[in-house]
């Protein structure tokens, strides 16, 4: 789940880079938020599995 969110955020950022839409803060901030949520989810799930 966490890795999927990280990949989605990365794909959004790469797509923005290719289309030249790098001045839209809502898209860039949303993609960054998706990546951060994905990292937190990934860490939480792995910690739960380890315990």
**pLDDT tens per residue, range 1-51:** 889 999 999 999 999 999 988 888 899 999 999 999 999 999 999 988 877
Q: How far apart are CA 6 and CA 15, in angstroms?
A: 14
pLDDT of 3: 92
**Residue located via tokens 């999927």:** 4
The conformation of residue 51, written as its DSSP 8-state character, comes to: -
pLDDT attached to residue 8:
95
List the one residue out of 13, 8, 14, 15 whose CA is nearest residue 34: 8
Tens digits of residue pLDDT in 39-51: 999 999 998 887 7
């Amino acid at each position: 789940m966490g890795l999927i969110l990280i990949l989605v955020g990365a794909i959004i950022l790469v797509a923005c880079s290719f289309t030249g839409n790098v001045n839209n803060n809502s898209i860039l901030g949303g993609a960054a938020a998706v990546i951060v949520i994905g990292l937190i989810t990934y860490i939480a799930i792995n910690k739960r599995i380890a315990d």
